Amino acid sequence: MKNKEIERKFLIEPEKIPFDLEKLDYCDMVQGYVTSVDKELTFRLRHVLYKNTEGVPTGEKWFQTLKGKGSKIRDEYEIELSKEQFSTMWKMCERLSLHKFRYEIKQNFGTIHLDRYKNGLKGLWTLEVEFDTLQNCDDFVPLDWFGEEVTENMDYTNLSMAINGLPEKISK
């Protein structure tokens, strides 16, 4: 089990995406959060509804994740839950939640997680690239269509956006 998350995050302009997203399966995700008083630990619940290119559900899963403090690299522990377990705990998280669609795009360097946010974060598109090692992460050269890197900008963490909404820079 991998217990470290190593990733970089970028803003995206949807018109620059070199893929036809209508030809890709995707996930409809809802995530909710609880954080420790000292903000050293974040508890996340995630419901993933898998959909095909026509938007027809093909399956679903529920997860509980504990994340440590950090940006590019941090501790992460995730387990799959039953629907009943998720529903019981969701009451703790639903007030601090967000909704997004995720497209996974396989590349030679790994998988791009392209997120299109919904509701109060509508208009925001980001992508994350996860890595197996910190060296691979540091050596990675972003592709031409990637926008501004926001890995170290805590305003763009999902927890922060669930609490504060869109970061000021892109607020409409």
Tell me the domain boundaries of the chain. 4-170
Question: In 3-state terms, what secondary structure has residue 5?
Answer: strand
Give the model confidence (pLDDT) of 34-79 as tens digits.
Answer: 998 888 999 999 999 999 999 999 999 999 999 999 999 999 999 9
Catalytic residue among 26, 33, 117, 156: 33
Give the model confidence (pLDDT) of 106-153 as tens digits.
Answer: 998 889 999 999 999 999 999 999 999 999 999 999 999 999 999 999
| 77 annotated active-site | no
Angle at 117 between CA 66 and CA 153, to 5 degrees: 60
Picking from 150, 155, 7, the residue whose alpha carbon sits closest to that of residue 76 is 7
C-alpha–C-alpha distance, residues 65 and 117, integer Å = 20
**Residue 161: alpha-carbon gap to chain centroid:** 11
User: Which CATH entry fits the domain spanning 4-170: 3.30.300.30, 2.40.420.20, 2.40.320.10, 3.30.1480.10?
Assistant: 2.40.320.10
